[in-house]
């Protein structure tokens, strides 16, 4: 994969980055100024009578209901809508903590569309067990939190970003509580603060072992009650709609596929927040939900965004190992069940299958070492002993304390005959979190005008080479909030012409293909997906080497070529879309970014460990930056659909 890989500052001065010229789709923006904030809500029976649509002055207004919440949501009127094109002031891609928190703020200044790939709650946030880290204890300090973050990040973190996040964290927690999130409290009435690996103090705010679910519940309820926010479920984001004016690239919207109606829907907006989560499914075993196929990073890459630090893939050291359960699950899980870091923070001990404790052999911090250290230690034990899993034991703690702190884990394990109050838990590392992503400034801004990023899809510089436990939800909250002011400023100085929505070729559905042909393509795509995941685990896993990375690069390139030939020989057109095919192109894009970045880092730092360069090198303590490049090998996954040959 021919890319431009540079080592440099973690904050790119976007005004000075010369990007790939895209002359074929230059748009004349700013002709007509449309205010989308003038959506009028009147007596619906009077305005719409018995019809779903009513055309007023040649513009269509549509009543939008959230299907799953129709009985609880107020109907919303979104201006200038038709079935194929929708206009909003702000479009948010993703319904996790970052997307929802941002939507609640910008909705005070305009209409907001939240586009989500599945149901609104289906996000990485919902699966986060541990909690949110913040300095809320008098014996703790911002400096302590910063130090822990930087040490865990192998000193690759951007110090300014770390200070901002650690300083603003407590206020973001208080805002969540004000919105309605219910966190655990101690006997003294104060928030109960847990401790996790890599933290020197107790600073993890949590709701038992289901913190993400509670945060998502509170935010979704607030969004549900907000008349300026419309949620579009089961809308898969295909590609960003961009234009170029000399060296500046602008984002104007996104094409989506409604996977329930099989209709392509175009969203046009003045401001876009990308909060689409990670790419865990480039690996065969991941704690991420099925929606985490790297769509945001891949779309941004195709739109010429700067990408950073993709080599740093965090493998959570303790996912539930189904092979070690007394009763085996009847079918393979779509995503591995996470055993939160807080189990080790509460005193959980790791043993091999001979019940020999091994973490003291690897690190003086033992079970409280950062995730990269623990994951590599487990990986080493498994390879040396030829075993499939290790054991995490918390049964020495009081039964009621275990059940109070980890009710979700206890219930899940009990389904399969394992009582965690008396038996150790079988665990194995699984792909968990992408520390790299779309490079963002201190306010979530990217090198593309009008495009902001927050959450796992972003690379803000906070995590460096390894994320400190429970810093992810914190980062999402802080950057979602910090992106609000510049987003509003961009909204107020932007103009848009409704006719511009026709300037990009629209994706098409494979209606011209026979149903058995489409079925063959879907089946083969699933086979290719499994092969890609196997390559990534075998050659780009927890421990790497230059030869294995180069093998992965070659194998992925050949596999992608094989898949594309299969598609196009069966009549698939480059502008055609389908959920599985589009996910596959995004997985290929992200996998190649991870491999290229890993090859560029010739040292071992944080989550990237390579046998050929097993030590830290101070001269290489710089982020890996992938700039847009015209020398990219053009594949279906590397080019926006509206730029594909017809």
337 — phi, psi (to 5°)?
-85, 125
* Nearest CA-CA partner of 102 in 351, 274, 306: 274
Element counts in the chain: helices (H) and strands (E): 16, 25
Q: Three-class SS of residue 295?
A: helix
Spatial distance between the Cα atoms of 574 and 273, rounded to a whole number of angstroms = 27
Residue 95 in tokens: 């319904």
Spatial distance between the Cα atoms of 146 and 488, rounded to a whole number of angstroms = 30
Tell me how far apart the terminal alpha carbons of the chain are, to the nearest angstrom: 24
Beta pairing, strands 307-308 & 624-627: antiparallel
Give 190's Cβ-side CA count (13 Å radius): 9
84 — phi, psi (to 5°)?
-105, -20
Spatial distance between the Cα atoms of 138 and 331, rounded to a whole number of angstroms = 48
> Using an 8 Å Cβ cutoff, are 542 and 312 in contact?
no
Spatial distance between the Cα atoms of 419 and 137, rounded to a whole number of angstroms = 33
Cβ contacts of 532 within 8 Å, gap of 6 or more? 282, 556, 559, 587, 588, 591
Residue 340 in tokens: 């939160």
Place of tokens 């979700």: 408
Residues with catalytic roles: 371
610 — phi, psi (to 5°)?
-125, 135
Alpha-carbon Rg for the chain in angstroms: 24
Query: What DSSP designation does 116 have?
Result: -
């Amino acid at each position: 994969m021919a890319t431009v890989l540079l080592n440099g500052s973690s904050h790119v001065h976007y005004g000075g980055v010369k990007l790939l010229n895209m002359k074929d789709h230059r748009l004349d923006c700013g002709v007509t100024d449309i205010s989308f904030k003038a959506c009028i809500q009147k007596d619906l029976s009077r305005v719409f009578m018995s019809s779903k649509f009513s055309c007023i002055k040649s513009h269509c207004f549509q009543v939008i209901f959230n299907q799953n919440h129709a009985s609880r949501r107020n109907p919303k009127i979104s201006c200038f809508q038709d079935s194929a094109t929708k206009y909003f002031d702000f479009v948010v891609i993703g319904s996790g903590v970052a997307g929802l928190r941002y939507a609640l703020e910008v909705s005070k200044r305009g209409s907001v569309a939240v586009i989500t790939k599945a149901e609104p709650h289906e996000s990485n946030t919902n699966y986060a067990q541990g909690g949110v880290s913040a300095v809320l204890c008098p014996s703790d300090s911002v400096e302590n939190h910063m130090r822990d973050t930087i040490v865990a990040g192998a000193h690759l973190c951007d110090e300014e970003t770390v200070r901002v996040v650690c300083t603003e964290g407590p206020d973001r927690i208080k805002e969540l509580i004000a919105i309605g999130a219910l966190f655990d409290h101690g006997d003294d009435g104060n928030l109960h603060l847990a401790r996790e690996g890599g933290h020197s103090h107790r600073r993890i705010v949590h709701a038992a072992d289901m913190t993400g679910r509670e945060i998502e519940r509170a935010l979704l309820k607030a969004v549900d009650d907000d008349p300026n926010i419309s949620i579009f479920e089961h809308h898969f984001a295909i590609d960003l709609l961009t234009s170029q004016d000399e060296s500046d690239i602008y984002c104007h919207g996104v094409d989506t596929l409604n996977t329930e109606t099989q209709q392509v829907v175009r969203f046009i907006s003045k401001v876009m927040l990308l909060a689409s989560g990670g790419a865990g499914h480039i690996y065969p075993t991941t704690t991420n939900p099925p929606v985490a196929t790297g769509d945001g990073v891949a779309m941004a890459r195709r739109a010429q965004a700067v990408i950073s630090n993709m080599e740093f893939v965090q493998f959570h050291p303790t996912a539930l190992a189904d092979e070690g359960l007394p009763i085996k699950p009847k079918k393979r899980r779509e995503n591995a069940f996470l055993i939160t870091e807080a189990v080790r923070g509460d005193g959980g001990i790791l043993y091999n299958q001979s019940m020999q404790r091994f973490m003291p052999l690897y690190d003086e911090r033992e079970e409280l070492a950062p995730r990269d250290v623990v994951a590599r230690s487990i990986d080493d034990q498994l390879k040396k002993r030829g075993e499939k899993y290790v054991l995490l034991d918390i049964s020495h703690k009081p039964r009621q304390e275990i059940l109070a702190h980890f009710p979700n884990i206890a219930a899940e394990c009990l389904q399969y005959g394992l009582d965690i109050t008396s038996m150790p838990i079988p665990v194995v590392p699984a792909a968990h979190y992408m520390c790299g992503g779309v490079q963002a400034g201190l306010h979530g801004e990217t090198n593309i005008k009008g495009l902001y990023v927050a959450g796992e899809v972003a690379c803000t510089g906070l995590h460096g080479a390894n994320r400190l436990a429970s810093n992810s939800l914190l980062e999402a909250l802080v950057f979602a909030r910090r992106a609000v002011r510049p987003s509003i400023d961009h909204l107020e100085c932007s103009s848009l012409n409704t006719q511009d929505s026709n300037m990009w070729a629209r994706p098409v559905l494979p209606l011209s293909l026979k149903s058995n042909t489409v079925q063959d393509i879907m089946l083969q795509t699933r086979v290719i997906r499994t092969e890609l995941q196997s390559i990534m685990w075998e050659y780009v896993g927890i421990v790497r080497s230059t030869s294995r990375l180069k093998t992965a690069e070659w194998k992925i390139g050949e596999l992608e070529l094989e898949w594309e030939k299969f598609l196009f020989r069966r009549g698939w057109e480059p502008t055609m879309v389908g959920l599985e095919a589009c996910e596959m192109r995004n997985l290929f894009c992200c996998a190649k970014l991870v491999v290229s970045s890993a090859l560029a880092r010739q040292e071992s730092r944080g989550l990237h460990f390579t046998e050929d360069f097993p030590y830290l090198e101070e001269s290489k303590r710089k982020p890996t930056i992938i700039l847009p490049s015209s020398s990219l090998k053009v594949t279906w996954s590397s080019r926006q659909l509206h730029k594909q040959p017809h």
